């Protein structure tokens, strides 16, 4: 019997899944079993859209359709967390299986603690994540650094520190470090990300630590919950999943790679945050950069922490409408509402038409708040101070009492932790 804390190599015997899968197809096979056994009603996964640079979310209810979702899209920078809230009613009445990266998972935790989704109805299989590459950057990088037309590339992968492309007539790999030195490679938030093996999901799957004859043909699975253990046992019993104990040397290598990735994350944090300066210098930089804002609200609509029904940035007494440059209050409101819980998913930066490094600004503030209050977002159901009230209830309280003291009941008395 599998239990929480177990580690194993896993792969599928399903030929169709194996053909398309990244590393043996364990993830897709597990979803196949979950659907067939009715452990879940639907699976939310990612599939290739128009091309390799276009990652598309799909809902699968027929197990036969799952093979189309196998494989890793490293230019798949989308975040699935908010899709569950927006389009699947927060999984209130259906059971959903979802493949997540670390940032997707952290977004789900943040939404769950704000009662926007029901985590009890969600099974998360998390892929280890060294980082993703913005589709726009990937196209430019392939043309410029690889000298290849991005439209003829039919496969990409990140392996042993290289970003590798395959195209008709050849393949080429360049070290990610080298690409990042000249501004290509992973998104900047991914470089700072330190959630490489997301053990807060039900299962954490990746290639680090798979060595010997199974290298490239199996996935290293860490079992992180009872739900995850049941899923593995059921899939093995049903014959769709094969497993074996991992090579002890592989476990050592895995720990070393993870450690090296965490150090690299620290290095990038230091570089990016120092580049922002401190105090007045930092504020001046943020004000200069955000003066390009056109108030398109993309940063708000994509952010997994933004969930208010009545967004304060739309209140004309706070942010005067019809003004360019947009009043800085717009950004101050976002900083005040989000910074304690920002999970550095990068969406507010990637989707900003004015190319404002929003995620950098928010992440820089989040780490300062973490130092002050010790609250780490995205990895547990622990509430940050701002999430102690429910928006509607708080608005009703203010309306009914005539008070203008928001969070009055939270700060007085302050919750124990603070």
Residue 200 touches which of ligand FAD, ligand SF4, none (Cβ within 5-8 Å per kind) = none
Q: How far apart, in whole angstroms, are the C-alpha atoms of residue 157 and residue 165?
A: 7
In terms of Cβ atoms closer than 10 Å to its own Cβ (0-12, 13-18, 19+), residue 384 is: buried
Q: How far apart, in whole angstroms, are the C-alpha atoms of residue 296 and residue 194?
A: 30
Which residues in 94-123 contact ligand SF4 (CB under 6 A)? 101-103
Name residue, tokens 């027929």: 62
Three-state secondary-structure class, residue 371: helix
For 38, left (φ over 0), alpha (ψ -120 to 50), or beta?
left
Among the listed residues 18, 225, 291, 298, the single contact to ligand SF4 using CB under 6 A: 298
Q: Which is nearer to ligand SF4, 39 or 338 (CB)?
A: 338
Q: Which is nearer to ligand SF4, 170 or 353 (CB)?
A: 353
Q: How far is the CB of 387 from ligand FAD (least distance, A)?
A: 26
Residue 298 touches which of ligand FAD, ligand SF4, none (Cβ within 5-8 Å per kind) = ligand SF4
Q: How far is the CB of 235 from ligand FAD (least distance, A)?
A: 12
Q: How far apart, in whole angstroms, are the C-alpha atoms of residue 286 and residue 295?
A: 16
132 forms part of the interface with ligand SF4 (CB under 6 A): yes
User: Please, are residues 108 and 97 in contact by the beta-carbon 8 Å criterion?
Assistant: no
126 forms part of the interface with ligand SF4 (CB under 6 A): no
User: Please, are residues 55 and 249 in contact by the beta-carbon 8 Å criterion?
Assistant: no
Ranges assigned E (strand) in 34-85: 42-48, 55-60
Residue 134 touches which of ligand FAD, ligand SF4, none (Cβ within 5-8 Å per kind) = none
Q: Which is nearer to ligand SF4, 67 or 195 (CB)?
A: 195
Rg (alpha carbons) of the chain, rounded to whole number: 22
User: Please, are residues 174 and 163 in contact by the beta-carbon 8 Å criterion?
Assistant: yes
Q: Which is nearer to ligand SF4, 95 or 194 (CB)?
A: 194
Stretch that binds ligand SF4, among 35-43, 91-99, 228-236, 357-365 (CB under 6 A): 357-365
Residue 338 touches which of ligand SF4, ligand FAD, none (Cβ within 5-8 Å per kind) = ligand SF4
Residue 45 touches which of ligand FAD, ligand SF4, none (Cβ within 5-8 Å per kind) = ligand FAD
358 forms part of the interface with ligand SF4 (CB under 6 A): yes
206 forms part of the interface with ligand SF4 (CB under 6 A): no
Among the listed residues 296, 324, 381, 405, the single contact to ligand SF4 using CB under 6 A: 296
Among the listed residues 8, 142, 176, 356, the single contact to ligand SF4 using CB under 6 A: 356
For 344, left (φ over 0), alpha (ψ -120 to 50), or beta?
left
Q: How far is the CB of 268 from ligand SF4 (least distance, A)?
A: 11
DSSP string over 219-259: EEEEE-SHHHHHHHHHHHHTTSEEEEPPPHHHHHHHHHHHH
Of 12, 131, 24, the C-alpha closest to 76 is 131
Q: Which is nearer to ligand FAD, 35 or 326 (CB)?
A: 35
Residue 195 touches which of ligand FAD, ligand SF4, none (Cβ within 5-8 Å per kind) = ligand SF4
Residues lying near ligand SF4 in the complex (CB under 6 A) are found at 101-103, 129, 131-132, 189-190, 193, 195, 293-299, 302-305, 338, 342-348, 352-354, 356, 358-359, 362
């Amino acid at each position: 019997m599998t239990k929480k804390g177990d580690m194993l190599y896993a792969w599928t015997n399903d030929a169709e899944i194996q053909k398309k899968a990244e590393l043996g197809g364990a993830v897709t096979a597990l979803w196949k079993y979950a659907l067939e056994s009715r452990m879940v009603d639907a699976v939310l996964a990612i599939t290739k859209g128009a091309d390799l640079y276009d990652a598309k979310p799909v809902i699968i209810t027929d197990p036969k359709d799952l093979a189309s979702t196998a494989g890793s899209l490293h230019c798949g920078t989308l975040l699935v967390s908010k899709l569950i809230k927006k389009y699947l009613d927060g999984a209130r009445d259906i059971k959903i299986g979802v493949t997540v990266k670390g940032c997707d998972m952290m977004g789900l935790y943040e939404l769950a603690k704000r009662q926007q989704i029901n985590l009890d109805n969600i099974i998360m299989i998390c892929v280890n994540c060294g980082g993703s590459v913005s589709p726009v950057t990937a196209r430019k990088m392939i043309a410029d650094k690889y000298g290849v037309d991005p439209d003829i590339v039919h496969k990409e992968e990140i392996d042993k520190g290289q970003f590798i492309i395959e195209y008709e007539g050849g393949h080429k790999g360049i070290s990610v470090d080298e690409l990042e030195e000249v501004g290509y490679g992973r998104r900047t938030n991914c470089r700072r990300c330190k959630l490489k093996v997301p053990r807060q999901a039900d299962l954490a799957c990746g290639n680090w630590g798979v060595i010997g004859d199974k290298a490239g043909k199996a996935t290293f699975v860490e079992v992180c919950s009872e739900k995850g253990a049941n899923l593995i046992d059921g899939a093995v019993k049903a014959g769709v999943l094969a497993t074996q104990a991992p090579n002890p040397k592989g476990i050592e290598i895995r720990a070393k790679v993870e450690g090296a990735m965490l150090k690299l994350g620290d290095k990038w944090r230091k570089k990016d945050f120092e580049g922002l300066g401190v105090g007045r210098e930092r504020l001046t930089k943020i004000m200069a950069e955000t003066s390009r804002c056109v108030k398109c609200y993309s940063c708000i609509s994509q952010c997994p922490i933004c969930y208010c029904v009545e967004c304060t940035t739309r209140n004309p007494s706070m942010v005067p409408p019809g003004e360019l440059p947009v009043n800085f209050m717009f950004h101050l409101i976002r900083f005040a509402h989000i910074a304690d819980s920002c999970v550095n998913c990068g969406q507010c930066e990637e989707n900003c038409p004015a190319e404002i490094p929003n995620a950098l600004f928010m992440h820089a503030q989040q780490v300062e708040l973490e130092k002050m209050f010790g609250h780490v977002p995205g990895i547990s159901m622990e509430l940050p101070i701002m999430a102690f009230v429910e928006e509607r209830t708080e608005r009703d309280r203010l309306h009914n009492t005539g008070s203008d003291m928001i969070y009055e009941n939270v700060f007085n008395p302050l919750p124990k932790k603070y």
